[in-house]
Amino acid sequence: MARSPNAVCAQRDYYARTASDYDAMHAKGEHYDALRHVALYMRAIGARSLLDTGCGTGMAMRYLEKQIDGLQARGNDPSAALLRVAIERHGIPSEQLDCVSSERLPYENSSFDAVVETGMLHHTPEPQRVVAEMLRVARKAVFISDSNIYGQEGSSVAARALKLALARAGLLRPLLRRMRGGHDWYFNDADGVAWSYSVFDSYPLVRGSCADVVVLPTGNKRRLADACPILYASHCLIAGFKEPVVGSDVR
């Protein structure tokens, strides 16, 4: 289902209202946990250029530029308000930033060694379209750090398993749409406009385009998260490598 005009307006308004406080509001440990692994992986595969798609205020760009000497980083985001914070507060040069959506990236195929997203995919109604674009413009690797609705805290294992079963049967989205009054998205003051999403929804697409894929639970890991992340990890990093990495330091 396409993004409704109401969702677009609510999302733009949310970012405009919260841009100055955005960093503090979204300083979640799971993405920094993921980026520590991303830095190790990028060094291991010799990645020298990066796209931070849905970059917001440039968190991933700033972190990875500090970790990797000489990294050529670029970011894109549809929110001019967030990009303004990236420029004015964090000193990211404006020429490294593009105010465009991640659903249709204005870059050539294989333009960047690596493409990363941190917590952006659950804010788009078509995450697979974004992941396909990430894979298109990535030469060596893609890194997805995002939520997993099948492993959310506060619900029983049976409830999580049921949600996963409904999703795989194609019934979860219609059910949620009915519960939400006819639209797929929801809104809350802490996170703005969002859609129910799991990194595991994107796993098949990444797996189909990459020689090797690594899945890592991130943030505050619960017992059994490593053994069964799809049901026990509320956030995960999916790292997809275009070339085989077996025997390298990334595992």
Q: What is the pLDDT of residues 192-233, one digit of tens each?
A: 899 999 999 999 999 999 999 999 999 877 788 999 999 999
- Which domain CATH number covers 71? 3.40.50.150
Classify residue 247: in a domain, yes or no: no
pLDDT digits (tens, 9 = 90+) for 45-98: 999 999 999 999 999 999 999 999 999 999 999 999 999 999 999 999 999 999
**DSSP letters along 148-186, please?**
BGGG-TTS-HHHHHHHHHHHHTT-HHHHHHHHTTS-S-E
Other beta carbons less than 10 A from residue 246's beta carbon: 9
Helix boundaries (H) for the chain = 5-18, 22-25, 29-45, 59-67, 80-88, 127-137, 157-168, 172-179, 199-209, 229-232
| pTM: predicted TM-score of the whole model, two decimal places | 0.93
pLDDT digits (tens, 9 = 90+) for 118-158: 999 999 989 999 999 999 999 999 999 999 999 998 889 99
Q: Residue 78 carries which DSSP code?
A: S
Task: Name the least confident of 82-91, 103-112, 179-188.
Answer: 179-188
Name the domain count of the chain: 1
In the chain, the amino acid numbered 8 is V
Classify residue 108: in a domain, yes or no: yes
Whether pLDDT at 2 is above 50: no
Q: Which residue has the higher pLDDT, 27 or 104?
A: 104
Classify residue 114: in a domain, yes or no: yes
Classify residue 170: in a domain, yes or no: no
Beta bridge partners of 194: 186
The boundaries of the domain holding residue 49 are: 5-151+185-241
Classify residue 156: in a domain, yes or no: no
Classify residue 119: in a domain, yes or no: yes
Classify residue 204: in a domain, yes or no: yes
Classify residue 175: in a domain, yes or no: no
Question: What is the Cα–Cα distance from 118 to 112, expressed in whole angstroms?
Answer: 17
